[in-house]
Amino acid sequence: MSASDALVRSVALARTQSDSDGAVADAERRLLALLDEISALDLEVETLASELAAFSARYERELSAAFARLERHERVVRRLQALQDELVRLDAELRTPKPPVRKSRKPTRSHRLLRDAAEDETEGERPWTPGATLDDEVPEPLPPPPDLASEAQSLKRLYRKLARLLHPDLARTEEERHRLHQLMIQVNLAFEKGDRTALELFLVRVDRGEMLDAAVSVDERLSHLEKRITALAPVRRSLLADLGRLRESSTFRLHAEWTGLQELGRDYFQETLTELAEDAERTMRDALARMGRLDRAARELTALKQSLTEAKPEGALRTFDPILESPLVRKGAERLERQRASSQARTLAQTLEEAVEQAPWEATLVLMAFFAERAGRPPDALSSQEGWAARYAAVAAAWPEAPSFEELLTRLPPPLELGLRFQGGKVRFGLQLKSVELLAGVPIALERRTVAILAQRVLAHLGPREQCKGCGAGVFLVHLLRTRGLDELNGLMCPACGHVAKSYFLFNWSEGQEALLPFALKVGLVDEVVVKLAGKGIAFQLLPVSREALTVGALKQLFSDLYLKPYGIAAEHADLVVKQGTRVLKDEARVEAPVLTLGIRKADRDSLASELAEGERELVALLRSRIERRFRPG
């Protein structure tokens, strides 16, 4: 080889070596730049995620209750809207009858709306846990940022692992000790230089079980650097995607809004709370207005049905009644006493007893709904939303922690719903138990003393509110039958003093407050004393305040005021005799027994009124004839 050829070859070799070194240096620069970018992105993602997580936690802490309240109010509106849609559909179907459908029809749009609203409200059937509320949805937490170790930490981990594998103390021979010592010198030098590439290549060789050479070739170094760059590229893309996702999230937008208001010196959270409260109030006003419209629409639908029925000729009655076929209008409780209590009804009875202790306001609402339905026509006090709210507030006044009526409407106990029912030939809207079968559970629960006491309190607030002319107190008047047996006279009484605010006769079947009298007797709101006159039982109903003070003389006065004086029969207390068994009771004696015997004093005929002189049987016959005459025209 000539000298010139050798020179050319050496120059070429030098150029090749220089090019390789340049490629390695370029790869190292690209790797470092990529690591720096990844570290910056990692820090930015971690910082932003931390800030958003902190903001999200505060947002949840300060606003979740307000958002949940607004959502409950909106659920009520959705439920009411579905019922309104159904009444409109029923009105149209009554006016333009369709041919009867033998098979079950597919749910209409309004049916689906109601089903969706019910699902929204309860999230599926859930057991009644008195006092519990629906769990509010918790925002999904942001995922943690990628776990990227710093360069210094990576170097330390590599170094420690190599030190454990290559430490000279692990050698079995002197030759191996010397070789491991030389390798550890190279490892130490690479660690001191921060040469992560060399350390990683050393570790690769050890993992492969190769005989280690202290030297790391340029090609090996370049190849490893490119592999690292290729491996880190997805990490960079992932961090960029995470950063983009964070910046596109609703949490980021809310955080930016909060930051902007904060720079202006405004309180984002307080302003949002105010807005949510206003939205909730507007929504509830809308719901209450819809309830009034629903009640009127139900009445109008009833009137339309009755007018169409009356207009049809005899024998041409409608074979298909959309009201009875509607899945949104359940049947009322006309024949409840003939039904056997289902397992659901018995469960309700048990839970109602628990609710009296844990959340009596919920039990109160269940009892009000039961009494409103069992009355046939709801009592006047429960004929409007305002009446419901006023009576509930009066009963719940003893429980400071009780929610308002409007708030409780948004978190109804699971047995209750705002719905429609067909009862007594009329469509009615209001609070009701979800199924007629559940109604049988309430009488079972009334056998429990705690439930009966609460029911007594509820019934005591269903009468009209007036200023008593006897004692001057503002009271809810209580209904009772002042007497029944020979005659039947209704009365509205002051529970504070027993004053008779109103007496009246009913000439048809009892509805409303009058229909609830059996329950008032059952729970002890009203008591009854019976006297037998010639074997005929005559009952006098009294409030506890009057019953406790009742004497024999007062009982005689009741009989005289309600049976003798109205029909012109003159009698003195001394003309009447009250016995308990065979013992004659004095006028001042307290009436303790629930059943007594009433008779006429044995005396000369001239000393008694003519109507009394004939005896007890004749007196009963006389009273019957005069009572019957009262109902005859003219």
More confident residue, 146 or 634: 634
> What's the chain's length in residues?
634
Whether residues 159 and 211 share a domain: the answer is yes
Whether residues 522 and 410 share a domain: the answer is no
Tokens, residue 252: 């980021």
DSSP 284-336: HHHHHHHHHHHHHHHHHHHHHHHHHHHHSPTT---S--HHHH-TTEEE--TTG
pLDDT tens for each residue of 526-543:
999 999 999 999 999 999
What's the pLDDT score for residue 220?
A: 73
Whether residues 620 and 517 share a domain: the answer is yes
Asked if the model's pLDDT at residue 58 lies above 70, the reply is yes
Angle, helix 360-374 to helix 385-396, in steps of 10 degrees: 140
pLDDT class of 142 with cuts at 50, 70, 90: very low
Mean pLDDT calculated for residue range 151-179: 74
What's the pLDDT score for residue 2?
A: 52
User: Is 362 among the domain residues?
Assistant: yes
User: Is 134 among the domain residues?
Assistant: no
Among 454, 453, 489, 460, residue whose Cα is nearest residue 477: 460
Query: CA neighbours within 13 Å on the CB side: how many for 580?
Result: 13
Asked if the model's pLDDT at residue 305 lies above 70, the reply is yes
The CA–CA distances, whole Å, from 397 to 360, 364, 394, 403 equal: 11, 12, 5, 10
pLDDT class of 131 with cuts at 50, 70, 90: confident
Average pLDDT, the chain: 83
Q: Look at residues 253, 278, 309 and tell me which one is the last residue of a structural domain.
A: 309
- How deeply is 516 buried, as exposed, middle or buried, from its count of CB atoms within 10 A (0-12, 13-18, 19+)? buried
DSSP 36-98: HHHHHHHHHHHHHHHHHHHHHHHHHHHHHHHHHHHHHHHHHHHHHHHHHHHHHHHHHHHHSPP
Whether residues 454 and 481 share a domain: the answer is no
- Give the Cβ contact number of residue 371 at 10 Å: 23
Q: What percent of the chain has pLDDT over 70?
A: 82
Tokens, residue 86: 């159904």
Tokens, residue 128: 């009644």
Q: Which amino acid is at 187?
A: V
Whether residues 240 and 91 share a domain: the answer is yes
Task: Please name the residue that has the structure tokens 């609830």.
Answer: 516
More confident residue, 125 or 366: 366
CB 420 within 8 A of CB 428: yes
What's the pLDDT score for residue 141?
A: 43
Asked if the model's pLDDT at residue 143 lies above 50, the reply is no
Whether residues 373 and 344 share a domain: the answer is yes
Q: What is the CATH number of the domain that holds 621?
A: 3.10.20.90
Angle, helix 3-95 to helix 109-122, in steps of 10 degrees: 110
- Give the Cβ contact number of residue 288 at 10 Å: 18
Whether residues 570 and 544 share a domain: the answer is yes
Q: Look at residues 309, 324, 348 and tell me which one is the last residue of a structural domain.
A: 309
Among 162, 157, 161, residue whose Cα is nearest residue 187: 162
- Residue 492 pairs in a beta bridge with 479, 502
Residues 6+ apart with CB under 8 A from 592: none
Residue 137 sits at φ, ψ, to 5 deg, of: -70, 135
DSSP 207-248: HHTPPP-S---HHHHHHHHHHHHHHHHHHHHHHHHHHHHHHH
* End-to-end Cα, the chain, rounded Å: 154
What's the pLDDT score for residue 124?
A: 46
Q: What is the largest CA-CA distance in the chain?
A: 174
What's the pLDDT score for residue 127?
A: 77
User: Is 221 among the domain residues?
Assistant: no
pLDDT class of 8 with cuts at 50, 70, 90: very low
Among 376, 366, 456, residue whose Cα is nearest residue 412: 366
Residues 6+ apart with CB under 8 A from 425: 302, 306
Asked if the model's pLDDT at residue 634 lies above 60, the reply is no
Mean pLDDT calculated for residue range 547-561: 95
pLDDT tens for each residue of 343-360:
899 999 999 999 999 999
Three-class SS string for 87-126?
HHHHHHHHHCCCCCCCCCCCCCHHHHHHHHHHHHHHCCCC
Mean pLDDT calculated for residue range 398-406: 95
User: Is 145 among the domain residues?
Assistant: no
User: Is 555 among the domain residues?
Assistant: yes
What's the pLDDT score for residue 147?
A: 41
- The C-alpha atoms of residue 173 and residue 484 are separated, in whole angstroms, by 118
pLDDT tens for each residue of 437-484:
899 999 999 999 999 999 999 999 999 999 999 999 999 999 999 999
Pairing of strands 465-467, 500-504: unpaired
What's the pLDDT score for residue 30?
A: 84
Whether residues 336 and 445 share a domain: the answer is yes
What phi-psi label fits residue 118: left (phi over 0), alpha (psi between -120 and 50 degrees) or beta? alpha
pLDDT class of 323 with cuts at 50, 70, 90: confident
Q: Which amino acid is at 46?
A: E
User: Is 103 among the domain residues?
Assistant: no
Mean pLDDT highest for which of 47-51, 101-105, 152-156, 366-370?
Answer: 366-370
Angle, CA of 306, 310 and 315, to the nearest 5°: 120
Whether residues 242 and 336 share a domain: the answer is no
Q: Which amino acid is at 335?
A: R
Pairing of strands 478-483, 489-493: antiparallel
What's the pLDDT score for residue 9?
A: 52
Tokens, residue 80: 């009411």
More confident residue, 143 or 181: 181
- The C-alpha atoms of residue 462 and residue 512 are separated, in whole angstroms, by 10
Residues 53, 55, 61, 63, CA torsion sign: negative
590: helix, strand or coil: strand
544: containing domain: 477-630
Asked if the model's pLDDT at residue 614 lies above 90, the reply is no
pLDDT tens for each residue of 408-420:
999 999 999 999 9
User: Is 281 among the domain residues?
Assistant: yes
CB 277 within 8 A of CB 67: no
Whether residues 446 and 336 share a domain: the answer is yes
Whether residues 249 and 119 share a domain: the answer is yes
Asked if the model's pLDDT at residue 118 lies above 50, the reply is no
Q: Look at residues 268, 294, 309 and tell me which one is the last residue of a structural domain.
A: 309
pLDDT class of 98 with cuts at 50, 70, 90: low
Domain count for the chain: 4
What's the pLDDT score for residue 338?
A: 46
Q: Which amino acid is at 435?
A: S
pLDDT class of 23 with cuts at 50, 70, 90: confident
Whether residues 499 and 568 share a domain: the answer is yes
pLDDT tens for each residue of 187-245:
788 788 777 777 777 777 666 555 455 566 777 777 777 777 887 788 788 889 889 98
What phi-psi label fits residue 392: left (phi over 0), alpha (psi between -120 and 50 degrees) or beta? alpha
User: Is 130 among the domain residues?
Assistant: no
The CA–CA distances, whole Å, from 291 to 346, 366, 385 equal: 31, 18, 7
